[in-house]
Amino acid sequence: MALDLPARAPLPRSSFASWLAAMLVLAALVRPWTNRRRLELWLLNYLVLMHLLYWLTQPVGLLLDSLGQLATLKTNAMGSPAYFPPGYPMLVAIGYLISSTAAGSVITAIQHAMMIAAIWWSFKLMERCAGTTIAYATTLSIGAAAPTLALPQGLLSENAALFGMMGALYFAFNYRERGQLRDGILSGSLLGWAALARIMPLAAGLPSLFAIMMGARSRRAGLRRFAVILVLVGIVVAAPLVWFGINSGKFTLTNSMGRHLFNRAIADQYLMDRNARATARLLKLTAPVDPSGMRHWDVQKLLEKKGLNRDQIEALMRQTSIESIRHAPLEYITYSLRQALIQYSLDPIPFMPYASTPSEYNSELEPPPLLGADANSMRWRERLEEAFDVAWIYTPWIALASLPLIPLLDERATFMALAITPALYLLATALVEYLLSRYNAAIIPFVIMMAGGTLAALIRLVARLRAGPIGRRR
């Protein structure tokens, strides 16, 4: 049986006029053109209304990974690592604590608030680098980008990664400028939580925070404050590690690293040292099937038939993957760099769920939207995605053009941090994950900010050229 949404409902002719009148009335009340505070209020209103309307009209996006988060937290509470790291399940648990019957809606509402905060922080950082006008235009673009609306509508750990990385940079900048320990604590805590959700933010965040601190007037003070943040990140990440180690003897955040490496090195790249000990055992157990090029979940079925349990399978896949990487380290690194570059320009939208991808799921994770999901709301989402698809053809490359233009910007160390974050996030992802465009969702705001930096730098360059030598000396 095939079902489809009903035909698009006709909109009354007065709809556009009503919305336009409402916006004009709101503009007259706020008067964003009069001063800075009102301008920021108007921007905040824009972000809140966009995300509220999206949350009210779109279903909750679910993947198979989304369904295992609460079970992960239960396993973690008993003192053992699980397939997923513990960071994102904490957020899912909060949703269940607030409402066990509409947990999906609660979680996505929290995530939309997190996204609004992350975009707001991006505005404040961008303003220091490129000025208010460019920062404002950049933030409007980030707020209307389809991935920044779709990401918080899905139960995806990239939400925690983006929120944590952007917040860590924002509060690190404040800590550098004002020296208040509270900002350092927030920066370290947010990056630590992001690392507990996806691991990769740790590789991207620490060098970025170091770059920000190197922009301090006193390098010694910057190093001290970076050390404070580093200690806090270490405390946050070490807490579950110690808990798991004491209770299960496993000092690791997940029990799936071997599976992820297997997908990356053996399934994707076909690396395999067939003469190595663990690899030879794997080949013997799966014979006559060659596991090279197969995903870990397919190989796991073969190994389970041979009597191996999940822990034994994880250990064998990890050992096999490490042997493969040791056998061809240069090929592994080269492939990872190439994958990161390919990943950089991919559109994440095609692999971001519109609703529940699994056919069986807990009903509380996908309650109906409060205003309902119909043909009009789907069409609105499609138009946002179509607009982003066109813009994304050019945006990543415009963003790269900002790198040689950084000397023309203010707060060069901070802008460098904004550029380092997506680069190292993608590289860390490419080292342990196979190619999947959805992973890009966590870096979209950073790339758009870099594109805004290109525009700001070009405007300043043209102004300098027009001023001529005399103007430049002044």
Q: What is the pLDDT of residue 221?
A: 94
pLDDT digits (tens, 9 = 90+) for 176-190: 999 999 999 999 999
Higher pLDDT, 206 or 359: 206
d(CA 350, CA 392): 13
Do the beta carbons of residue 433 and residue 263 sit within 8 Å?
A: yes
452 pLDDT higher than 70: yes
Q: Residue 192, CB half-sphere, CA atoms under 13 Å: how many?
A: 20
Helix (H) or strand (E) holding 335: helix 329-344
Residues 6+ apart with CB under 8 A from 359: none
Token pair for 426:
């993608």
Q: What is the pLDDT of residue 1?
A: 42
Residues 6+ apart with CB under 8 A from 20: none
Q: Residue 425, CB half-sphere, CA atoms under 13 Å: how many?
A: 29
Q: Quickly count: other Cβ atoms within 10 Å of residue 406's Cβ.
A: 19
Q: What is the pLDDT of residue 2?
A: 47
Closest CA to 183 of 173, 194, 192: 173
Whether pTM > 0.85 for this model: the answer is yes
Q: For residue 273, give the amino acid letter.
A: D
Do the beta carbons of residue 448 and residue 164 sit within 8 Å?
A: no
Residues 6+ apart with CB under 8 A from 344: 396, 422, 426, 440, 447
The percentage of the chain sitting over the pLDDT mark of 70, rounded to a whole number, equals 94
Q: What is the pLDDT of residue 471?
A: 53
